[in-house]
Amino acid sequence: MARFLVRRLLSAALTLFAVSVLSFLMFFALPRDPVSGMCPKNCNPERLERVRQELGLRDPLVSQYAGYMKGIVTGRDLGSAQGGRCDAPCLGWSYVSNEAVSDTIARVLPVTLSIVIPAAILWLLLGVGLGMVSALRRGTWLDRAAIGFSLTGASLQLYFVGAVLLIVFVYNLRLLPVPNYTSFFDDPLRWASGLVLAWVALAFLFSAIYARLSRAQMLETLSEDFVRTARAKGLAKPKVYGRHALRAAITPVVTIAGLDVGGALGGTVITETTFGLNGMGRTAVDAVRSGDLPTIMATVLIAAVFVVLANVVVDLLYAAIDPRVRLG
């Protein structure tokens, strides 16, 4: 098990290294001159040259990359034009927002985390629960209702569901405040009431896929021989379904959940935009729009870290669920 863990972590580190190199090269591959974004007005050649020097753009590529990576690990000095000393994890300086990128991230990342994690818990419970129920009650009205629900969810768009929720709960019924972000540690109640619509909207759309997937998986597992064995032993239904069938049916759900959660943590642009919340997704989109390269780089890197981490977690969960994986 320890060897398994070490191997997975090593391959995760390798993946992250590749992603960081690729996204770093983006600076140089993009048609836009990185300097132009940082010197919007009255740029004369001397000034441009000075900025280039300051940014280290005259240095060889490898040392630029090493400098950036060193900044993430230990922090580095960026020079007076970029706010001077930049503490670890230093992700550079944004001329667009005039602050250290890490400060921007520290502000917007909690928003995305607060949207995605509760929503993911909600959509997993709802999706897998619905899938289980409709598999066990196959052909009944409950099954049909669950399928209808998931079809609806799968075919709707978030901005539509979000808008409907906003109109009903915020503007008509006035049950909830206009969505906003309050830190969980300041006021958990305001944190929840400001975000609950985003959770519900995300969970409704995502749970559709999970309901269908876990229904199909459950139906397949229920026809497995070992489920028949469990029944032949005289186990009661809750144990047959919960302990024997569900555990075998859940693995593909874990895979998809890992990918979805990992991806969503990198930013949920549409959700954030629909509900007017300032998270990673919107920050990334704004950065792309304004050519704010250090921020783009940071959001891409962080999104990659989440996806890779989610995959490691999925692998570990796999090994925990299926003993045969641990050998591999």
Partner 1 sequence: MDGPEAARSDDRPDLPAQRAAADPYLRVDDLRVRFDTPDGVVRAVDGVSFAVARGRTLGIVGESGSGKSVTSLAVLGLHDARRATITGEISVGGRQLVGLPDEEVRRLRGRDMAMIFQDPLSALHPYYTVGRQIAEAYRVHHPRAGKREARSRAVDMLGRVGIPQPARRFDQYPHEFSGGMRQRAMIAMALVNDPDLLIADEPTTALDVTVQAQILDLLADLQEEFHSAIILITHDLGVVAQVADEVLVMYGGRAVEHGSVEQVLRSPQHPYTWGLLSSVPSLHGDADTDLVPIPGSPPSLINLPAGCAFHPRCRYAGRNGDRSRTEVPVLAPAGRPGHLVACHLSAEDRDRLYREDVAQVGVAR
Hey, which residues between 294 and 323 contact partner 1 (CB under 8 A)? 321-323
Residue whose CB is less far from partner 1, 99 or 224: 224
Q: How far apart are CA 276 and CA 108, in angstroms?
A: 12
The type of residue at 204 is F
Which member of 233, 242, 252, 276 binds partner 1 (CB under 8 A)? Answer: 233
Q: 274-301 burial string, b = 16+ CB within 10 Å, else e?
A: bbebbbbbbbbbbbeebbbbbbbbbbbb
Which amino acid is it at 79? G
Q: By CB under 8 A, is residue 247 in contact with partner 1? A: yes
Q: Is residue 257 classed exposed, middle or buried when 0-12, 13-18 and 19+ CB atoms within 10 A define those classes?
A: buried
Three-class secondary structure of residue 178 per DSSP = coil
* Using rule CB under 8 A, residue 141 touches partner 1: no
List binders of partner 1 among 208-227 (CB under 8 A).
224-226
Residue of the chain from 236, 252, 276, 328 that contacts partner 1 (CB under 8 A): 236
Q: Using the rule CB under 8 A, which residue among 228, 242, 252, 276 binds partner 1?
A: 228
Find the binder of partner 1 among 152, 229, 242, 252 (CB under 8 A). 229
Which CB sits closer to partner 1, 31 or 323?
Answer: 323
238 binds partner 1 (CB under 8 A): no
If one asks whether residue 66 binds partner 1 (CB under 8 A), the answer comes out as no
Q: Pick the closest to residue 302 from 91, 99, 143 (CA basis).
A: 91
Binding residues for partner 1, rule CB under 8 A, total 20
What is the β-pairing status of strands 85-86 and 76-77? Answer: antiparallel
Please report, as ranges, the residues that interact with partner 1 according to CB under 8 A.
Answer: 139, 224-226, 228-236, 244, 247-248, 321-324
